C-alpha cells in the first residue's frame, strides 16, 4: 500500500512539473509567421537597389519591423517579428516604406490570406531625403538680388 502511494505521488509530481515547464512555452509562444518579400528598384524601375531600409508597419496596431535590401534589391520581413505587438490578420492594412539611395516610397497593401506576399517597390527620386523645402527659390532670389546690386554698382 505504501509503495503504491509513493508511485502515485511521484507520478503526480512529475506530471505537475511537466505541466509547469510546458505551460510557459505555450503562453509565450511566437506570433503567426507571415512573410512579406519583394524587390526595391530605382526610380526608373529597372535597377534593383541594395542597402535600402524597408520598414513594414501594421496600421491596425502601429507595430513595425524593418529589413535591408540585399542580393539584387531583395528584402524579406516576417510579421511575426512586429514590435511591440506582433498581432496581424488577413485584410489588415500593411504600410511598406523603403528609403535610401536618394529616394523614398510608401505603399499600403492589404495583408493577403496566405504567406508569402510579394510587394515590389520603385523609389521616387528626390522624394525629400535631405532636401530643404524652398531652397531653390531662396537661391534664385539671392542670385537676382546679387546681380542687381552688382549692375547698380557698376554704373
Options 3.50.50.60, 3.40.1280.10, 2.60.40.1120, 2.10.210.10; CATH for 35-125 is: 2.60.40.1120
Q: What is the pLDDT of residue 54?
A: 94
d(CA 53, CA 69): 7
- For residue 3, is pLDDT > 50? yes
d(CA 56, CA 36): 9
CB 107 within 8 A of CB 119: yes
Question: HEC states along the chain?
Answer: CHHHHHHHHHHHHHHHHHHHHHHHHHHHCCCCCCEEEEEEECCCCCCECCCCEEEEEECCCCEEEEEECECCCEEEEEHHHCECCCCCCCCCEEEEEEEECCEEEEEEEECCCCCCEECCEECEECCCCCCCCCHHHHHHHHHHHHHHHHHHHHC
Higher pLDDT, 139 or 62: 62
- For residue 107, is pLDDT > 80? yes
- For residue 77, is pLDDT > 80? yes
Q: Please state whether the predicted TM-score (pTM) of the whole model is above 0.75.
A: no
d(CA 94, CA 33): 15
Count the Cβ atoms, other than its own, within 10 Å of residue 8: 10
Q: What is the domain partition of the chain in residue ranges?
A: 1-30, 35-125
- For residue 127, is pLDDT > 60? no
Per-residue pLDDT band for 138 (boundaries 50, 70, 90) equals: low
Q: What is the pLDDT of residue 12?
A: 53
Sign of the alpha-carbon dihedral angle for 95, 124, 114, 71: negative
Amino acid at each position: 500500500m505504501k509503495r503504491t502511494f509513493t508511485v502515485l505521488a511521484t507520478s503526480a509530481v512529475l506530471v505537475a512539473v511537466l505541466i509547469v515547464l510546458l505551460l510557459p512555452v505555450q503562453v509565450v509562444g511566437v506570433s503567426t509567421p507571415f512573410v512579406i518579400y519583394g524587390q526595391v528598384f530605382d526610380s526608373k524601375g529597372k535597377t534593383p537597389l541594395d542597402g535600402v531600409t524597408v520598414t513594414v508597419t501594421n496600421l491596425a496596431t502601429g507595430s513595425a519591423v524593418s529589413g535591408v535590401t540585399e542580393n539584387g534589391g531583395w528584402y524579406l520581413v516576417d510579421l511575426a517579428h512586429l514590435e511591440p505587438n506582433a498581432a496581424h490578420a488577413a485584410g489588415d492594412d500593411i504600410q511598406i516604406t523603403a528609403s535610401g539611395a536618394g529616394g523614398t516610397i510608401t505603399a499600403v497593401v492589404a495583408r493577403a490570406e496566405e504567406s508569402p506576399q510579394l510587394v515590389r517597390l520603385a523609389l521616387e527620386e528626390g522624394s525629400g531625403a535631405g532636401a530643404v523645402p524652398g531652397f531653390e527659390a531662396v537661391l534664385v532670389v539671392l542670385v537676382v538680388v546679387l546681380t542687381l546690386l552688382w549692375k547698380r554698382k557698376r554704373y
